[in-house]
Amino acid sequence: MTARSTTLHRFYPAIPASIVHARAELADFAAESGANAEQLYRIRLSSSEALTNVVQYAYEDHGGQIELLAAITDDGLCVHVADVGRGLCPDREGAGLGLGLAIMARLSDRLTIGTRSSGGLEVRMQFNFEAEPVSPECSYGRGSLASATSPASPRFSTTT
């Protein structure tokens, strides 16, 4: 019997195909670590959003790499998705609607976004395996109306 690893640390090229590979590898790691089906859904969707942001926005020349680090903690799973690209650029044209950040904040138990000392951005998400399932706090299950009627999440923070 082999011992289960408590960390996953990988680097991927910042290209669309890497999103699928990184998400699958992370989901396999989370499943082997005890995540249930609902938690795996949250982990897959949130990590997909973070990985997609790196591919779409981090590098001007569409080069670079994605760093994925996941670790089992006493509470569950901590996921870091990082790059050494441009970081957050609020004035960037075509920068999307910002829904990915809202999805990550809503589906993770804790979300922190920070700049790296080496440049770029790091998204840190915590998924607690023993926590109650995340559910909408309004009668609208999802979509723009649900987002507009829900209070801001206390689980979201940014650092610079």
**What is the tens place of the pLDDT at every residue in 89-124?**
665 555 565 788 899 999 999 999 999 888 899 999
DSSP state of 55: I
Rounded to whole angstroms, the Cα distance separating 103 from 92 reads: 20
Whole-number pLDDT of residue 70 = 97
β-pair type (76-82, 121-128): antiparallel
94 φψ region: left (φ > 0), alpha (ψ -120 to 50), beta (else): left
Residues 6 or more apart whose CB falls under 8 angstroms from that of 106 comprise: 134, 153
Task: State if pTM tops 0.75.
Answer: yes
Superfamily name and number for 7-159:
Histidine kinase-like ATPase, C-terminal domain (3.30.565.10)
pLDDT tens figures, 33-45: 999 999 999 999 9
Amino acid 16 reads P
Beta-bridged to residue 9, according to DSSP, are 69
Rounded to whole angstroms, the Cα distance separating 146 from 122 reads: 27
Residues 6 or more apart whose CB falls under 8 angstroms from that of 51 comprise: 18, 19, 22, 23, 66, 68, 81
